[in-house]
């Protein structure tokens, strides 16, 4: 909102909070995903957009399906915040690699659970639901020794000081689109599209496009055990992808590089490579 106000100081922006199915049913997200229920973080917001009750929908990009409803489009992707996952732990539990055998780690993400079980099979991975405040409060209790969250959520809510460790992508790849926002508008609303596009970041767009095309090419959703992370350095886009079994027993990881202008093709090609190496079986197993 602050960025939009900077670009359009004479425009009156108002925030309207909309509750989604994902907000109301946090305890059954995995079951909904297994049934193929998509868009449980965004549908009610998109309905409000289509019904002209709002003009811009702001989504966490990692929760946005790779295909938009007819009549809507992603008009702007602002500059990405930190894409990494982070660990917050109790005293003596501040680094993932140093957690003692049997330490209890909380997370709600299928992807993070699969990563943790592959990287540290000696840990106890325990389900953790709720918003950021609820999860931090749970850590203060007796059930968890550490929890894993997205860095971006803590940074945006001015709780960066709570972070004990940033988990680097070479250990745990983020979800495709993690750390980025999407501004969605009606496809025929030219004025609002112009307003939203004023804060668009082209490099972030290239990175996100590669990651989401990878996800789309796998035919996987935001609840799948899939990680992807694209970087742009020296005029070269590097995309790394990961698909894992829920029990951590089998993982597939691969990397590709190319010109940022070919970001969509790079994502699709990496997905094809991963499918050729058996990724489909891992994705199907996560749905069953």
Same domain, 7 and 102: no
Catalytic residues: 62-63, 111-112, 129, 135, 222
Closest CA to 175 of 197, 149, 139: 149
- The pLDDT score that the predictor gives to residue 63 is 86
Q: Which residue has the tokens 């592959």?
A: 118
46 and 98 share one domain: no
Q: Are residues 113 and 249 in the same domain?
A: no
Q: Work out how many domains the chain is built from and give that number.
A: 2
Per-residue pLDDT at 55: 97
Domain CATH code at residue 101? 3.40.190.10
Across the chain, mean pLDDT equals 92
SS3 156: helix
Query: Are residue 95 and residue 110 in the same domain, yes or no?
Result: yes
Specify whether 191 is located in the same domain as 254. Answer: yes
**Would you place residue 108 in the very low, low, confident or very high pLDDT band (cuts 50, 70, 90)?**
confident
The pair phi, psi for residue 85, each rounded to 5°, is: -85, 160
Residues facing residue 147 across a β-bridge: 88, 106
Q: Are 76 and 180 in contact (CB under 8 A)?
A: no
Which among 147, 167, 187 is the end of a domain?
167
User: What strands lie across the sheet with 146-150, from one edge to the other?
Assistant: 124-127, 104-107, 146-150, 85-89, 165-167
Same domain, yes or no: 73 and 201? yes
Please give the residue range of the domain that contains residue 14.
2-81+176-287
Among residues 167, 197, 232, the one where a domain terminates is 167
**Which pTM does this prediction carry?**
0.90
Residue 73 sits in the same domain as residue 90: no
Residues 63 and 188 in one domain: yes
Task: Please indicate, yes or no, whether residues 77 and 90 belong to a single structural domain of this protein.
Answer: no
Which of 133, 167, 201 lies at the terminal end of a domain, its last residue? 167
* Among the listed residues 114, 94, 234, the one whose alpha carbon sits nearest the alpha carbon of residue 167: 94
> Is the domain of 72 the same as that of 184?
yes
Nearest to 86 by CA among 157, 13, 1, 142: 157
Give the pLDDT band of residue 172 (cuts 50, 70, 90).
very high
19-49 as b/e, with b when 16 or more CB fall inside 10 Å?
ebbbeeeeeebbeebeeebbbbbbbbbbeeb
The CATH number of residue 196's host domain is: 3.30.160.40
Do 68 and 188 lie in one domain? The reply is yes
pLDDT in tens, 217-243: 999 877 789 999 999 999 999 999 999
218 and 105 inside one domain? no
């Amino acid at each position: 909102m602050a960025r939009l106000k900077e670009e359009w100081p004479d425009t009156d922006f108002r925030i309207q909070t909309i509750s989604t199915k994902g907000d109301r049913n946090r305890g059954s997200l995995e079951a909904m995903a297994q049934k193929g229920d998509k868009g449980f973080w965004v549908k009610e917001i998109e309905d409000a957009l289509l019904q002209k009750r709002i003009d811009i929908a702001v989504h966490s990009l990692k929760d946005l399906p790779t295909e938009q409803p007819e009549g809507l489009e992603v008009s702007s992707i602002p500059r990405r915040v930190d894409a990494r996952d982070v660990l917050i732990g109790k005293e003596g539990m501040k680094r993932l690699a140093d957690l003692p055998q049997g330490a209890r780690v909380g997370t709600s993400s299928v992807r993070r659970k699969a990563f943790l079980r592959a990287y540290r099979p000696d840990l106890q991975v325990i389900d953790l639901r709720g918003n950021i405040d609820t999860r931090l409060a749970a850590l203060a209790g007796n059930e968890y020794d550490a929890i894993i969250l997205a860095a971006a959520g803590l940074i945006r809510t001015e709780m960066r000081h709570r972070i004990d460790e940033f988990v680097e992508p070479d250990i745990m790849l983020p979800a495709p689109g993690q750390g980025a926002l999407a501004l969605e508008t009606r496809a025929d609303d030219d004025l609002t599209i112009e307003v939203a596009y004023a804060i668009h970041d082209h490099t972030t767009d290239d990175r996100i496009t590669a990651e989401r095309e990878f996800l789309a090419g796998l035919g996987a959703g935001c609840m799948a055990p899939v990680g992807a992370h694209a970087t742009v350095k020296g005029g070269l886009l590097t995309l790394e992808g990961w698909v894992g079994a829920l029990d951590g027993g089998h993982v597939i990881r691969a990397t590709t590089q190319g010109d940022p202008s070919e970001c969509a093709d790079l994502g699709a090609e990496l997905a094809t490579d991963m499918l050729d190496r058996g990724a489909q079986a891992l994705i199907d197993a996560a749905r069953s």
